Amino acid sequence: MNAGLYCTLFALAAGPLAGGGPERPNVVVIMADDMGFSDAGCYGGEIETPHLDALAAEGLRFSRFYNTGRCCPTRASLLSGHYPHAAGMGWMISDRGAPGYAGSLRKDRPTLAELVKPAGYRAYMTGKWHVSPHTGAQGPKDNWPLARGFDRFYGSTTGSGDYWDPVTLVRGDEAISAFDDPLRPAEWKPDGSGYHYTDATADEAVRFVGEHAQQHADAPFLLYVAFTAPHWPLHAPQDLIERYNGLYDGGFNAVRKPRRNRQRESGLLPEDIGLAPVPKPWSQVPQDQREWEAACMATHAAMVTQMDAGIGRLLAELDRTGAAENTVVMFLSDNGGSAEDQGRFGPFTPRQDEPTGQPTPPEAPRSKRTQLTRDGFPLRRGVNVMPGPPDTFVAYGESWANVSNTPFRLYKSHVHEGGISTPLIVRWPAGMREELRGGFVRDRAHVVDLAPTVLELAGAEYPAAFGGGETKPLPGRSLGPDLRGEMQIALLDARPLFWEHEGNRAVSQPDGEGDWKLVAGAGKPWELYDLSVDRIEANDLSKQRPEKVAELSALWDEWAAGNDVLPLGGWQGKPQRKRTR
């Protein structure tokens, strides 16, 4: 049997549904945004993430956990337990005229919050919602968090924006300004020192945990913390950026290779794992742009460290309130590192001496991203605009995304391994055997598996009908057998897993012969890989194994037809000719 085709030895003690186990646990789900597989220290990175590293040392790391490859689809799958198209979110928050691409989380797909509330749970959320097209202050709000089962919410209804002055910021159901919030007083400052969205996302989660302990101590809770970090724009405090000064001056491979080596040495990935090709060698970066490139990655690293510090404050509050022992904490990312190039082209834009636009009053909520800071200065983009301050808007680009996704191929929005592979860390002190903490789970698992897991932990049932219609059975499997400590060595779970985003598509299914993945870029033919020996997807076997291509592509076709994926191209608002083989 191929070395990769085995289940890891599961190491969790009896769960809440087993006799003598702990009571129903609290559940905390923490999601990063555009964080690559290797960014955290415990996944091979050089970035300082002491709290995630401690979480991994006290829990389990999954080496084969998958998301959907993009922000809105992954959030819809996490919340609903369905593949994104079946939840109405096959693309982004824009109605493209087909059921799978409605751009809004379906009302007959209950959220995690709606699922656990009947079991006596309270439900809280902070951070990025991004599953409704109605993001403005006037709504409609019938698909905002409070309408979808959450008792309290602080965060943004849309996606990316501005860390120093976030757009579509909401407390409860009301749009607010970060600088006119009596529960979190802040002052706009041109250097950004008055407010940062990453800090606020964490600190409001801390608030919710503390107030739950005071007001609802007898009830378990679900907490969903959806950071926007480290999604572009690259915004971080200067002192954190300076921690990484010089670290990235050697270029892309000077970081990638040590990351891959640490992944090997830790046992996270096989000792013979290779490296996907680098899209642009450091030697091709002009000398006068290298300082800027290094600063972009340093700012990305600072954003990850800032998020980790916020996670540390949340974990400390769980300790302080006595909740930590029986709280399941899960950490994952919505997709791989992003090759998007916002703000990376055009000439250098210097900072203006005076505002060029009308300042926005402190009390005014921001409904959309504009080209001005709150004090009226224009946003600066372009080559050699050093990222970090409030008046900059820059991404870190393709080559650093390749570093973040070490050792895998491609990026966010793609369904090759770099786009869909995410860390998953799970800690549960009351339910995990001490002698086996810090280990790995090498089973394949997918974000659609988290809803069945939460249902089982909460002792809740999935309803036959909801939101005025019949529900669709959940496609995922509960990780409950793992959480109950059923120790087994067998072939990997042989069910197929599926992906589609913007025409990029894939299906994964192991058998006794190989750990097969069929994958294709938009409008391109299928490629076939045996991930047990080639997880970097370097050796395409489609020509050698046409029968396996036919078998897996038929599975993908059947899934697509039953999950509102078709027609291909529905995300563009116009169908493309179906082509899957």
Residue that the structure tokens 């802040």 belong to: 186
Q: How far is CA 14 from CA 19, 225, 487, 492, 493, in A?
A: 8, 27, 11, 22, 21
CA quadruple 119, 124, 128, 134: dihedral, nearest 10: 70
Residue pair 526/549 in contact (Cβ under 8 Å)? The answer is yes
Q: How far is CA 93 from CA 1, 68, 158, 505, in A?
A: 44, 15, 8, 20
List the one residue out of 367, 303, 376 whose CA is nearest residue 169. Answer: 367
Both structure tokens of 555: 């599975």
Sign of CA dihedral 439, 309, 113, 110: negative
Q: Helix or strand or coil: residue 165?
A: coil
Catalytic residues: 71, 130
How many DSSP H helices and E strands does the chain contain? 12, 17
> Cα separation of 549 and 526, whole Å?
7
Q: Helix or strand or coil: residue 319?
A: helix
> Cα separation of 248 and 202, whole Å?
28
Residue by residue, DSSP assigns 372-408 as B-TTSPBPB-STT---BSTTB----HHHHHHHHTTTS
> Cα separation of 347 and 523, whole Å?
34
Residue pair 520/527 in contact (Cβ under 8 Å)? The answer is yes
